[in-house]
Amino acid sequence: MQNFVQNGAVVEVPAPYAVSSGGGALVGSIFGIAQADAESGATVALMRSGVFTHAKTSAQAWTVGAKLYWDDTNKVFTTSASGNTLVGVAMAVAANPSATGTVLLDGAAR
């Protein structure tokens, strides 16, 4: 196909803020996990799909399949929809309290 650009699993975008490798980043409605460190405004490659272990709101229990939102202020995943962006689902149970959870990103922020 002459109009194919890329598969979209990994996209390069300007970093919305300084982000570390393995950190989440929300650029408009594009969410992904950074493949490398990037300063604000620098190009960063974001993985938009896959399963990742990442920081979560500690005082939450997660069930498998629970909707997960990105809290762009605190840079963590949460089950709280209020003011946050839907980005994936929990792939494993996470206890309350716990610092990390297992997240499935499906490539779309909503």
pLDDT in tens, 75-95: 999 999 999 999 999 999 999
Return the DSSP state at 13: E
Predicted TM-score (pTM) of this structure: 0.94
Residue 108 binned pLDDT confidence (cut-offs 50, 70, 90): confident
pLDDT in tens, 2-60: 898 888 999 999 999 999 999 999 999 999 999 999 999 999 999 999 999 999 999 99
Q: CB–CB of 78/84 below 8 Å?
A: yes
Find where tokens 């699993």 sit.
9
- Token pair in block for residue 37: 């460190």
CB neighbours (10 Å) of residue 80?
12
pLDDT at 66: 97
